[in-house]
C-alpha cells in the first residue's frame, strides 16, 4: 500500500464530512483512510462511523477515549498506518481530487524524500480563493539549513504534508505539549533524516473560519508557541539524538514576513487590478 491518509479530529463536526470525503474521493486507489478521533463530544464519531459504513474497505476508524490533543492523532495514526507514506488531513481542510496521484508521481522520481509538502489555497469558510497559504516553499536538505541558521524551517500546514512512515516512526512520539501544531514537531525532526520535496502546485485548501486554532486566531500566540513549546522541545530532541542543531527564536521581521508581507503584497495587486477595471 502506497499511502495512509490520517485525519485527526476533535469536535470538528462542522466541516468533518467534507474534509473526509475529499480524501475518500481521490483520483487514486492505492491508499487507506484512517480517521483518529481525539475524544470528541459532538457528533463527530457518528459522522465518521456513517462514512466508515459507506466505505468499509477503504476506511478505518480509531476512537480515543480521552482528548489529549493533536499529538495523540499523529502518534496513534502514524503507528497504526499500513501505507509506506502517511498523508495528513485536518477535519476542516480539503484535499483536491488529484492530490495523492500527484504526490505519488513526485515521490517516484525522488526516492530519497522523507517529507513532501505542497501548496494550499485559502478557503474562506466555503469560498475557495486564489490566495496561497505560503508565499514560497522550502525544499532540499532542511536539516542542514537549520543547523547553519539556528532558525526553524517553515512548512505548509498539516493538510499539505506527507511523510515516509518508517522514518517518521524514528521521530515519534510527538510530545504531549503539542495539543495543537503537532506537525511543527514532526516536520522539524524528520528533516534531520532526509530530503524535503516541495510541490508548488496547490493540491488542497486550508479553511479559514472562526474556530481556527492558529491561523488568524486571536487565541493563538506564535511567540508563546515558539518560545515555550516548539523551540525548547526541538532543542531537547536534537540534543538527545546528538544531531547538533541549536535553534534560536527567529527575529520579528522573519516571523512577520511569512504572513503579513505576502498579504500586503496581494492586497496591493488586488487594488491595482481593481483600478484597471
Q: How confident is the model at residue 1 (pLDDT cuts 50, 70, 90)?
A: confident
Nearest to 175 by CA among 247, 268, 240: 240
Write down the architecture of domain 3-221 according to CATH: Alpha-Beta Complex (3.90)
Measured on CA atoms in the order 186, 188, 193, 196, is the torsion positive or negative?
positive
Q: What is the pLDDT of residue 272?
A: 44
Helical residues (DSSP H) of the chain, grouped into ranges: 16-24, 44-54, 70-80, 99-109, 142-149, 165-169, 182-190, 222-224, 231-241, 252-257, 260-276
Angle between helices 44-54 and 16-24 (to 10 degrees): 20
**What are the CB-based long-range contacts (under 8 Å, 24+) for 258-261?**
258/134, 258/135, 258/154, 261/135
Residue with the bigger pLDDT between 234 and 255: it is 234
- The domain limits of the chain are 3-221
Model confidence, pTM:
0.89
Q: What is the tens place of the pLDDT at every residue in 66-84?
A: 999 999 999 999 999 999 9
The C-alpha cell 531537547 sits at 236
Average pLDDT over residues 266-270: 44
Q: What is the tens place of the pLDDT at every residue in 90-126?
A: 999 999 999 999 999 999 999 999 999 999 999 998 8
User: Is residue 267 over pLDDT 80?
Assistant: no
User: Is residue 40 over pLDDT 70?
Assistant: yes
Q: How far apart are CA 24 and CA 73, in angstroms?
A: 19
Q: What is the tens place of the pLDDT at every residue in 206-230?
A: 999 876 655 555 666 888 999 999 9
For residue 223, CA distances in Å to 70, 77, 85, 202 come to 19, 28, 32, 28
Q: How far apart are CA 273 and CA 277, in angstroms?
A: 7
Q: How confident is the model at residue 57 (pLDDT cuts 50, 70, 90)?
A: very high
Amino acid at each position: 500500500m502506497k499511502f495512509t491518509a490520517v485525519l485527526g479530529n476533535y469536535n470538528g463536526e462542522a466541516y468533518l464530512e467534507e474534509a473526509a470525503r475529499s480524501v475518500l474521493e481521490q483520483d487514486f486507489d492505492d491508499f487507506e483512510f484512517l480517521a483518529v478521533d481525539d475524544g470528541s463530544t459532538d457528533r463527530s464519531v457518528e459522522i465518521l462511523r456513517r462514512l466508515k459504513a459507506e466505505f468499509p474497505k477503504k476506511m478505518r476508524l480509531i476512537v480515543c477515549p480521552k482528548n489529549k490533543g493533536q499529538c495523540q492523532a499523529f502518534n496513534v495514526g502514524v503507528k497504526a498506518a499500513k501505507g509506506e507514506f502517511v498523508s495528513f488531513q485536518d477535519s476542516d481542510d480539503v484535499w483536491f481530487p488529484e492530490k495523492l496521484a500527484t504526490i505519488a508521481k513526485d515521490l517516484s522520481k525522488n526516492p530519497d524524500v522523507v517529507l513532501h509538502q505542497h501548496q494550499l489555497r485559502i478557503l474562506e469558510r466555503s469560498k475557495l480563493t486564489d490566495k496561497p497559504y505560503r508565499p514560497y516553499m522550502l525544499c532540499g536538505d532542511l536539516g542542514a539549513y537549520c543547523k547553519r541558521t539556528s532558525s526553524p524551517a517553515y512548512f505548509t500546514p498539516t493538510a499539505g504534508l506527507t511523510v515516509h512512515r518508517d522514518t517518521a516512526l524514528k521521530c515519534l512520539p510527538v510530545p504531549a505539549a503539542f495539543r495543537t501544531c503537532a506537525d511543527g514537531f514532526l516536520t522539524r525532526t524528520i528533516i534531520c533524516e532526509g530530503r524535503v520535496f516541495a510541490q508548488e502546485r496547490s493540491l488542497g485548501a486550508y479553511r479559514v473560519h472562526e474556530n481556527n486554532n492558529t491561523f488568524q486566531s486571536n487565541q493563538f500566540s506564535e511567540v508563546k508557541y515558539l518560545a515555550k513549546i516548539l523551540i525548547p522541545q526541538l532543542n531537547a530532541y536534537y540534543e538527545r539524538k546528538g544531531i547538533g542543531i541549536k535553534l534560536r527564536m527567529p527575529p520579528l521581521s522573519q516571523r512577520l514576513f511569512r504572513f503579513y508581507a505576502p498579504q500586503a503584497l496581494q492586497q496591493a495587486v488586488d487594488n491595482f487590478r481593481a483600478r484597471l477595471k
